[in-house]
Structure 1
Amino acid sequence: MTADPVAGRDRVDPAHPLLVAVAPLLDRVGAELVAPERITPSDVPLVWEGETVAGVRLPDPPGETPSEAVGDLGRLLADLATELGAPLRDLPRPQKQRAVRLLEERGAFTYRKSAETVAEALNVSRFTVYNYLNRNRG
């Protein structure tokens, strides 16, 4: 069980009773804990007495992209991750900007709800994807 290393922001307390209780399950399924501020729509929030203490990020099945990314857009995202040599969510910001530029060149933003899907794959907000697109066009 690991937490996203986000310097100065990682608020996951591995000694929290809920996290101690689910640790064996997370290890068994290969999931990881993420700090509450890093939770994405595909993560499962863990709430204890009304407070989100962490999120669970489940691994993608081998050879598949995030569940929201289906069909041709999913293939574009998977191919781009292979081309760039890392999961899209793990890329530094300049590489994420490059990824958006490449996706636009390849027609990724012609698909319905593509900005949301790309945002999830990059682990950024939809607003950030639009900013990257505007930067590329301007």
Structure 2
Amino acid sequence: MELRAEFTTEPFRGEGEPPEHAVRAREAATEAGLTVDFGPLGTTASGEADALLGALPAIARAALDGGATRLTLQLSTGDTKPIPEPAPQLERLIREVEAQLGAPLAELDRAGKQRAVRLLEERGAFAMRKAVVTIASALGVTRFTVYNYLNRSH
């Protein structure tokens, strides 16, 4: 079974280099062989259940040893809630951005996905109901990752 852990470490820092506790937590997840997406608001690590569950103590220890005062964790399986049917306007915006970028959103590399999020934000997509869930599904990433991409664009 595939699991996903979304975690944040505090204290947060605004601009500049990520805090040591966040870097150490990311490194612990990477060393455990997990797939890691690191962003300014937190980290997503995914992998086989045994590997991910086995890595959690090392991730927590690394964050705390790096100066974290809090670690917030959310675990989920690959079986997530069904994605609601997107509003026609949101679906249209997604198709426009795919046409502009020349590929389905899910096939874009990380930089392309970040650009797609910026373009969708510029077009008002995130003002629509359930936009983050729908766009995350179209990108093939988590909601958490979409929020990270949005944060990077500001």
Partner of 2:20: none
TM-score, structure 1 normalization: 0.51
**CA distance change for structure 1 residues 136 and 113 in 2, over 3 Å: closer, same or farther?**
same
Shift of 1:41: 5.6
| Aligned mates of 1:129, 1:118 — CA distance in 2 | 8
**CA distance change for structure 1 residues 39 and 99 in 2, over 3 Å: closer, same or farther?**
farther
Shift of 1:82: 1.1
Give every structure 1 segment of 4 or more consecutive aligned residues whose post-TM-superposition deviation is greater than 6 Å. 37-40
**CA distance change for structure 1 residues 90 and 39 in 2, over 3 Å: closer, same or farther?**
farther
- Tell me the percent identity: 54
Letter in 1 for 2:120: L
| Aligned mates of 1:79, 1:38 — CA distance in 2 | 29
TM-score, structure 2 normalization: 0.46
- After superposition, residues 89-100 of structure 1 pair within 5 angstroms as 89-100=106-117
Contact 2:84 2:134 in 1 (8 A): no
Larger relative contact order (Cα-Cα within 8 Å, sequence gap ≥ 6):
2
Alignment root-mean-square deviation, CA = 2.5
**CA distance change for structure 1 residues 96 and 39 in 2, over 3 Å: closer, same or farther?**
farther
Residue-pair matches, total? 81
Contact 2:93 2:125 in 1 (8 A): yes
| Aligned mates of 2:151, 2:136 — CA distance in 1 | 15
SS at match of 1:86: coil
Structure 1: give runs of 5+ residues left out of the alignment: 1-8, 12-36, 43-65
Contact 1:81 1:87 in 2 (8 A): yes
| Cα deviation digits, residues 48-78 of structure 1 (max 9, x gap) | xxxxxxxxxxxxxxxxxx9732311110001
